[in-house]
């Protein structure tokens, strides 16, 4: 199942710089591992915001929830999820 996910990050101003750097490094490693696995198909930064749009390809809602709640930045995020379906006019075979 494909999902369009918007993630907005809001780190607390009083979060120590070393702790923030550690969380960000873990977040990058976690998301890149998921990208290599094919579960996190696309990620785009939203210009001017600490946010991204992503496309995740997972088995079901439960797997999506597990992946998102496993993000090291999860407790600092507002997340919006939209399920996606193949459009009947699509000519691409890889967007299922």
The verdict on residue 66 lying in a domain is yes
CATH of the domain at 17: 3.30.70.1060
What is residue 36's three-state secondary structure?
helix
The verdict on residue 90 lying in a domain is no
**Start-end of H helices in the chain:** 17-37, 61-69
Contact 85, 5 (CB under 8 A): no
Q: Decide if pLDDT at 94 tops 80.
A: no
Over the range 5-28, which residues count as b (16 or more CB within 10 Å of their CB) and which as e?
bbbebeeeeeeeeeeeeebeeebe
* C-alpha to C-alpha distance for 89 and 32, rounded to whole angstroms: 31
Owning domain of residue 37: 2-84
Q: Decide if pLDDT at 92 tops 90.
A: no
Q: What is the pLDDT of residue 56?
A: 98
Q: What is the pLDDT of residue 95?
A: 65
| Per-residue pLDDT reduced to its tens digit, 14-63 | 999 999 999 999 999 999 999 999 999 999 999 999 999 999 999 999 99
Nearest to 7 by CA among 68, 79, 75: 79
Q: Indicate whether this model's pTM tops 0.75.
A: yes
């Amino acid at each position: 199942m494909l999902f369009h996910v918007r993630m907005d990050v809001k780190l607390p101003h009083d979060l120590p710089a070393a702790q923030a750097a550690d969380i960000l490094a873990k977040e990058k490693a976690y998301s890149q591992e998921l990208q290599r696995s094919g579960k996190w198909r696309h990620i785009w930064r939203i210009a001017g915001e600490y946010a991204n749009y992503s496309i995740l390809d997972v088995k079901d809602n439960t797997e999506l929830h597990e992946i998102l709640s496993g993000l090291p930045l999860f407790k600092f995020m507002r997340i919006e999820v939209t399920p996606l379906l193949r459009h009947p006019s699509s000519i691409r075979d890889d967007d299922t």
